[in-house]
Structure 1
Amino acid sequence: MKKLLSSRPALWFLFLFYLSPSPCHGPLRHRGLQGVMTAAGTGVVSLGAGVSLVRDRGGNAATR
């Protein structure tokens, strides 16, 4: 499972899929603290995938 989730297509999917709803999903769908936490959670997933994409960009170039 780790190999699948760390593949570049999966990271791009997580980054783009969770980046798009993070600023507006929480406040529009849920009110109050639940909306803030939903937006923060999707933002954290998106940022984590984005950081992994940037971090692995230079290291895996020779092995592809």
Structure 2
Amino acid sequence: MKVTVDEDKCCGAGQCVLLAPEVFDQRDDDGIVVLLDAEPREPLQASVREAADVCPAAAIRLSTP
């Protein structure tokens, strides 16, 4: 799985960080998503998929390498 984020779309809701803190973080100044791991291991992929599904701004994209 390959993860990309569109910082311009991100609204800073933080659901991704709550669901997959090993993969996502937020900037302190404005809450915009920070991608920590663009290719998460299998055990993390279910939570990353859920984070992408619940993202209110659709700022997280998933693809297969």
**Could you tell me the TM-score, scaled by structure 1's length?**
0.31
The structure richer in strand per residue is 2
**Could you tell me the TM-score, scaled by structure 2's length?**
0.31
Greater RCO, CA 8 A, separation 6+:
2
